[in-house]
Structure 1
């Protein structure tokens, strides 16, 4: 009985250790994408507008006319798919981080102020959110992106136009809850200015839910940017995007599947792992704040 009882705790410890290692996989994958997006373009020389017709539609692992190897194959214009995947990772990370930062700053500022002061500010925020939610987010993004010349700034602006709403709703709920606590009343009695109360007491308490939400929003932003580029209204041709690469290969799906499949796999792997990471953070900080 003693031997059997000793086996079960060891098995439980091994199971717990295995789960801890599995929970770290999304962090490792995300770090890999950041490293590839940051250092990859420094190691791989690539011109997105250069055409090499002698190397067009080469299968993965084929040697190029210049002597190199196309590990991920080439597209219909002879451009290296591996380089497009690497440069596309940098584009996705930059646009994702920029959009989340802008949306977070706007949403947290508006949400915390509305939740703490309430009154007409809270009413205006609620009505503004209702108006924006009346339009599908992707439709509003497409309208904004299509109304201006294609650029990274336009894409970030279009994606931020609706992404800030989630941050505002989350932080407003936190502010409404915290403003009724005893230490906030004590701060008011002591004459602490509202701006100091917001910065010192309320905003720090929104950090957990905001980080969890930012992770989920990052995945949605990356997917939305790829969708805009796939439709041809996202980034210009001088930039590299996974959506553009996937769109360029849709006419060769039967003969050159790698053009669309490999960037699609890279995009899916990133979205899935960010989604898992977001679920972990949401479970850690509590789902109640995100409702």
Structure 2
């Protein structure tokens, strides 16, 4: 150990621990994704079937079919573990669909507004501000309550305002990039605006958009659970953590596991996605994905 300063020797293990702790949210979110994709393939569950003889079994109890209800059953005899597993798939599908649709619309409008500027930017910017001032969850409740319950309606309801954040972030990046030397050079060379957007502007929005998408995914999952808890989200034939939590609110004293376990599952996912989003925002949230290329003027 000669020649190595003592503070450096002490700091190395600390840095290793910090790196390990920083990877924990990635591992937990990856576990949720694994359960959402492969869990329903391993567990047979019918959300419509209600074996009333197995109702309100405590965790670890034996069911009438000889199986073990590891996390207990609800007031209709349905297995809580299976509802959590199938609810994970529902949350991932709705979250990915909503964030994907919002990203597509928001990034497109934001890039056009930031690059074009002038009256088009002024009009779109005012539209963004007006919609942003409207309560997002209230608009989602109105849309979801006005139509028959389905996955498509939930995705549309949650996407109605989620795209605005993507548009604002992309517009800010595009406003700064349109003044860069390589963009001016492309305009002087006669490159069409569509090509400039696709090759010299949009690639630089990848970092901030990915960081924002992570945070929006957590908000969408939480909002979907809220809509299902209120009974205006998914139909009864679909499994949702919000529905499972709502089904157990009348049994909080006698069967705490019905609402508590799905609630803890939802909380752990939201917390870890939030931490993961904060890490990505700190790294890429201000467009630092391509800092070295930006400083050297290389368009990619």
Structure-1-length-normalised TM-score? 0.96
What pairs with 1:1-291 in structure 2 (closer than 5 Å)? 7-287=6-286
Given that residues 212 and 281 in structure 2 are in contact (C-alpha distance below 8 angstroms), is that contact kept between their aligned partners in structure 1?
Answer: yes
Which runs of no fewer than 5 residues in structure 2 stay unpaired? 289-300
CA distance in 1, matches of 2:181, 2:3: 53
SS of residue in 1 equivalent to 2:19: helix
Specify every segment of 5 or more residues in structure 1 that has no aligned partner in the other structure, as ranges.
none
Q: How far apart, CA to CA, are the structure 1 residues paired with 2:253 and 2:6?
A: 54
Look up the SS of the partner of 1:75 in the other structure.
coil
Q: Any idea what the Cα deviations from partners look like across 1:181-220, whole Å, max 9, x if unmatched? A: 1111111000111000000010000000000000000000
For each residue in 1:118-167, what CA deviation from the matched residue of structure 2 results, as whole angstroms up to 9, or x when unmatched? 12221221221222123211001100111100000000000000000000
Cα distance between partner residues in 2 of 1:224 and 1:50: 27
Greater shift, 7-16 or 265-274, is seen at 7-16
- Matched residue count: 288
Q: Is the 8 A contact 2:208 2:287 kept in 1?
A: no
Instruction: State how far apart, in whole Å, the 2-side matches of 1:174 and 1:121 are.
Output: 17
Measure the CA separation in 2 of the matches of 1:211 and 1:226.
23
d(CA) in 2 for partners of 1:248 and 1:287? Answer: 42
Shift of 1:11: 2.2
Q: What is the root-mean-square deviation of aligned Cα atoms in Å?
A: 1.4
Q: TM-score, normalised by structure 2?
A: 0.93
Distance, in Å, in 2 between the alignment partners of 1:143 and 1:76 is 30
More displaced, 21-30 or 119-128? 119-128
**C-alpha offsets along residues 29-80 of structure 1, whole Å, 9 cap, x if unaligned?**
1110111011110110101111111100000000111100000000000000
Contact 2:207 2:287 in 1 (8 A): no
SS at match of 1:210: helix
Provide the secondary structure at the position in 1 that maps to 2:219. helix
CA drift at 1:7: 4.6
Query: Counterpart of 1:24 in 2: which secondary structure?
Result: helix
Q: CA deviation at 1:8?
A: 3.4
How far apart are the structure 1 equivalents of 2:215 and 2:236?
Answer: 28
